[in-house]
Amino acid sequence: MSRNRVIRCAACAGRIRPQHPHIGVEDLETGVEFSYHARASCQKRCVEETVTRLEAGKVYAMHHYHSSTCPDEAPGFGCAGGCFDTPMAVAN
């Protein structure tokens, strides 16, 4: 599952660098994974689209890929590396 390929954000179609933080939403039936940038606007689309797919009866697993420089050993939202924007703290 870790082939070298270009990852594109399903929200804005922009490229995601693998060493930068991003979110993956994996369809557990097909193994297809949708990727999104960690920034708030793309995360918002991620949540909206995932809710729509869940309503269609799909089963998903969410993955949080942290920055390659993130110092947190058990990363998640609010990690020490500050990888993910939260909707409450949009920094422009």
47 binds Zn ion (CB under 5 A): no
| Element containing residue 36 per DSSP (H, E) | strand 33-37
Rg (CA), the chain: 13
- Specify which residues 7 forms β-bridges with: 16
Structure tokens at 34: 């949708």
70 binds Zn ion (CB under 5 A): yes
Q: How far does CA 15 lie from the centroid of its chain?
A: 13
Which segment (24-32, 50-58, 64-72) binds Zn ion by CB under 5 A? 64-72
Which segment (27-35, 49-57, 76-84) binds Zn ion by CB under 5 A? 76-84
Q: Can you give the binding site for Zn ion, defined by CB under 5 A?
A: 9, 11-12, 14, 37, 42, 66, 70, 72, 75, 79, 81, 83
